Amino acid sequence: MTILTSLAAFIVAIGVLVTVHEYGHYLAARLMGVKVLRFSVGFGKPIYRRLFGRDRTEFVVAAIPLGGYVKMLDEREAPVPERDAGRAFNRKPLAARSFVIVAGPAANFLFAMVAYALMFMIGVPGLKPVVGEVEPGSAAAASGMQFGDEIRMVGRHRVQDWDQANLRLLDHAVRADEVSVVVIDRDGRERVRSIALENRRELLGEGQFLTRLGLRPYRPALEPLIGSVERGSPAAEGGLQPGDRVVSVDGDGVETWETWVAAIQAAPGQPLQLRVIRNGDTIELTVVPAEVETDGERHGRIGAGVDTDQPQLREISTLVRLGPVDGLVAGVARTWEVSILTLRVLGRMIIGEASVKNIAGPVTIAEFAGMTAIIGITAFLGFLALVSVSLGIINLLPIPVLDGGHLMFNLVEWIKGSAVSERTQLIGQQLGLVAIAGLMMLALYNDITRLFG
């Protein structure tokens, strides 16, 4: 069920983002008077084909949903009838061609702005940035961070939840050696903690940034109350229902949700005898956790969520919800922040201060797609926006075969006053394909090592 959800969410996400990107190229081409021959979402054998418009543009959905393209009339690719010569891409002025090229990545950034805006308008649930465990010997511990500190400001920016705190702290880690964090301690007093960030190789290594910084969000001990049950999951098949309170697992008492989760994760594929209380009655059930693999470790999962309407959880929960205007402003700001942060992290990777193991491949992306789809619409919108920004940035890298490579050739043409020779472009495209293939192999390698250790 989890695999199918991840696969479906991945296909939807890639389909949406590729369509957005290629539509940017398509719309810009039409605005510049370029004739578009084909608009394809996916590669390989077409599974849907239809002709539209005065130009009879062929719209195609192909079998392999890992990309797409817009094919324009171009004399460099095939002979062009004299009546259409003025509408060929290669005949257009340099500025017009550059506009068509940059429109694809621009569409991805615009989509991210809208997705983030919708996310903020719907409402982003989160946890207040209250510190739980502080790892001894870590940068957070050296700053004086303590259990119960609630983070209010990171640098000059106010934060309301752990998502914002993580983003601000990570941004400072890739560009500064120190950051001042304003907190309210357990006694209600305002404190300033200065966190040293100069050890970037450690902080930007593989794994969760907050963990490497030495911080763990505070999570209260929750009662083992079932709040939701996924349809078709082991929990549903075993008879668990929302409102059930788990009393014991294989005879061992269960006092907290954390204990309950640990028992499930430790028994993949093994029948567990449960005792639950439902409407005052004690009921015995049998549940067999599905076996899932995360970060190379196998553990059990049953598809049941905690009841979030518990007093101790409500105390640290927060909801960031904005109106249309403020939401749009926040969407633009978040897109800018994520874009700049991504570029800075890429720069740190190039000079060896950030781990290339953080580059995600299709398996990891699919896993996060499924996870966010299960969590809800706001989480999935945030995922789409993040991947859309990444696609926009990657496509603008000055690598031939990517949009950024074509813009690089256009820049050379503008400087020297004539087009780059076809031989030079061919050699560049071959080198670009090698670079892209290498990047894909690295991403797949990261996926494989994460899954199998």
pLDDT in tens, 399-410: 888 899 999 999
**Tokens, residue 287:** 């549940």
Active site residue 22: yes
pLDDT grade, residue 120 (50/70/90)?
very high
> For the whole model, what pTM was predicted?
0.82
Q: Are 392 and 18 in contact (CB under 8 A)?
A: no
Domains of the chain by residue range: 127-218, 226-306
E-only strand ranges, 256-296: 272-278, 281-287, 290-294
| Architecture category of domain 226-306 in CATH | Roll (2.30)
Give yes or no on whether 127-218 and 226-306 have one common fold: yes
pLDDT given for residue 1 in this prediction: 47
Beta bridge partners of 253: 248
DSSP string, 9-71: HHHHHHHHHHHHHHHHHHHHHHHTTPPEEEEEEEEEEEEEEEEETTTTEEEEEEEEEEEEEEE
Distance, in Å, from the CA atom of 288 to the CA atom of 267, rounded to the nearest integer, reads 8
- Among candidate residues 288, 272, 194, 161, the one with its CA nearest the CA of residue 234: 288
DSSP 205: S
What contacts 331, CB < 8 A, 6 or more positions away? 112, 113, 114, 115, 116, 117, 118, 119, 120
127-218 CATH fold: Pdz3 Domain (2.30.42)
Say whether 276 sits in a helix, a strand or coil: strand
pLDDT grade, residue 294 (50/70/90)?
low
pLDDT grade, residue 453 (50/70/90)?
low
DSSP 420: P
- Is 80 exceeded by the pLDDT of residue 305? yes
pLDDT grade, residue 443 (50/70/90)?
confident
E-only strand ranges, 53-202: 57-72, 124-127, 131-134, 150-154, 157-158, 178-184, 190-196
